[in-house]
């Protein structure tokens, strides 16, 4: 069980025991002593949990997302794109020149 959750439950138990002890009649001395010892045990357990929580305060820093680097074209890739563009332009010039001759 997580420490925070255990502390909440122990505090709730301590409150309930306090309420029961307050409502217990003074004539029931044995019962009252038994409830007091139970409350002392709960308070001691709460102290132990608080000490354990203080030891575990160290938290890991949040993980950082890896930074995305922009991909860049290599020289060979840039050369291939340039050649392909030159071929398209040459084809377009040929088509426009042949269209001009037939008109």
In this predicted model, what pLDDT tens digit does every residue of 36-72 receive, in sequence order? Answer: 999 999 999 999 988 888 777 677 778 887 777 777 8
- Residue numbers of the domain that contains 50: 3-55
69 within domain boundaries: no
Q: What is the average per-residue pLDDT within 24-38?
A: 89
- Whether 98 maps to a domain, the answer reads no
| Residue 64 located in a structural domain | no
Confidence band, pLDDT 50/70/90 cuts, at residue 92: very high
Residues in contact with 20: Cβ distance below 8 Å, sequence separation at least 6, in sequence order:
35
Cα angle, residue 36 at apex, residues 30 and 39 outer, rounded to 5°: 145
Q: What is the pTM of this model?
A: 0.51
Here the tokens at position 94 are: 């040929």
Mean pLDDT of the residues in the chain: 88
In a domain, 44, yes or no: yes
pLDDT at 72: 86
Total domains in the fold of the chain: 1
Domain assignment present for residue 22? The answer is yes
**Domain-embedded: residue 8:** yes
Residue 20 pLDDT > 80 = yes
Backbone angles phi, psi at 42, to 5 degrees: -65, -40
45 domain residue, yes or no: yes
Q: Is residue 83 part of a domain?
A: no
For residue 61, the model assigns a pLDDT of: 79
What are the structure tokens assigned to 43, written together? 């308070």
């Amino acid at each position: 069980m997580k420490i925070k959750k255990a502390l909440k439950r122990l505090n709730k138990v301590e409150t309930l025991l306090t309420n029961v002890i307050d409502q217990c009649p003074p004539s029931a001395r044995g019962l009252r002593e038994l409830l007091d010892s139970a409350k002392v045990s709960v308070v001691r357990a709460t102290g132990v949990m608080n000490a354990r929580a203080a030891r575990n305060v160290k938290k890991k820093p949040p993980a950082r997302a890896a930074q995305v680097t922009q991909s860049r074209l290599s020289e060979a890739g840039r050369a291939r794109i340039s050649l392909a563009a030159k071929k398209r332009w040459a084809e377009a010039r040929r088509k426009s020149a042949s269209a001009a001759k037939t008109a």
